A and B are shown apart, each in its own frame.
Chain A
Amino acid sequence: EIVLTQSPGTLSLSPGERATLSCRASQSVSSSYLAWYQQKPGQAPRLLIYGASRRATGIPDRFSGSGSGTDFTLTISRLEPEDFAVYYCQQKGSSWTFGQGTKVEIK
């Protein structure tokens, strides 16, 4: 099973700042099978990025994904108040696994 490790665990930033979230895999992941989700308290996760870099329907262009192999990144170019949440990466190999999450909190 592929293990995904996200860093940092918590990111403290101010609105308008840039957020860079990392997701590292224990073995190589096909870029087609790497996704990112946003989850707010009491809500279901929302798909942001699939195929490592493709934005899901309705996702603002301040969200972008990049990376390949074992290292992937989610970037939020300028944080809006509604972007403070927990973010998960996810891969599909022989099964689906998620990272442990990165919390983006208001500084």
Chain B
Amino acid sequence: EVQLVESGGGLVKPGGSLRLSCVASGFTFTSAWMSWVRQAPGKGLEWVGRIKSQTYGGTTDYAAPVKGRFTLSRDDSKNTLYLQVNSLITEDTAVYFCTKTFHSDSSFDYWGQGTLVTVSS
């Protein structure tokens, strides 16, 4: 059974930082391309960033609103995906979902339960 379990969310002041983690199981993490998708309270879904497998250089792509502030990384030895979020602003308040990309990088077939990041003074 595929599982994605996020952690690391919490309440942080504007300008602060957090590191979100996602532990994966039930599939071959080393070959998976992974993404983060977020959802502000009561709002829709927004793609945040994607990291390719190490076979493809582990390269990353980011959505414009987070580029330069957020960093994706992975530790394949721990089956873990990370999202370092810096210089947080109130608009970053959201549930952050860890997802596995699917079908030639086109969609997201497995999702974690999400971790809530609240940015407030």
Contacts A44-B97, A47-B102, A50-B102; A92 near B45 (Cβ below 8 A) = no
Please, what's the 1-or-0 string for B18-49, where 1 marks a CB less than 8 Å from any CB in chain A? 00000000000000000101000000111100
When distances are taken between beta carbons in the complex, the residues of chain B under 8 Å from A45 are 37, 45, 97, 108, 111
Cα separation A61 to B78 with both chains bound (whole Å): 37
A51, B97: Cβ atoms closer than 8 Å: no
Chain B residues 64 to 114 lying within 8 A of chain A, measured CB to CB, are 64, 97, 102-109, 111-114
When distances are taken between beta carbons in the complex, the residues of chain B under 8 Å from A100 are 44
Q: Of the candidates B50, B64, B103, which one forms a contact with A51 in the assembled complex, judged by CB atoms under 8 Å apart? A: B103
Cross-chain contact B108 with A33 (CB below 8 angstroms): no
Given contact pairs A45-B111, A56-B109, A96 touches B103 in the complex (Cβ within 8 A): no
CA–CA, A34 to B47, complex, Å?
Answer: 14
Interface size class of B (residues with CB under 8 A): 20 to 34
Given A47-B109, A95-B63, verify A32-B104 contact (CB < 8 Å): yes
B7 shortest CB reach to chain A, Å: 15
Assuming the contacts A90-B45, A98-B45, A98-B47, asked whether A50 and B107 have C-beta atoms less than 8 A apart, the reply is yes
Contact with B along A53-90 (1 / 0, CB 8 A): 00011000000000000000000000000000000101
Known: A44-B97, A45-B111, A98-B46. A50 touches B106 (CB 8 A): yes
Q: How far is the CA of A98 from the CA of B106 in the complex (A)?
A: 12
Smallest distance from the beta carbon of A107 to chain B beta carbons, Å?
23
CB distance A51 to B106 under 8 Å? Answer: yes
Within the complex, the shortest CB–CB distance from B70 to chain A, in Å, comes to 14
Complex Cα distance, B108 from A96, in Å, reads 10
Chain A contacts to B: CB under 8 angstroms: 1, 32-33, 35, 37, 39, 43-47, 50-51, 56-57, 88, 90, 92, 95-101
9 smallest A-B Cβ distances: which pairs? A35-B107, A44-B111, A96-B47, A98-B45, A33-B106, A50-B107, A92-B106, A100-B44, A50-B103
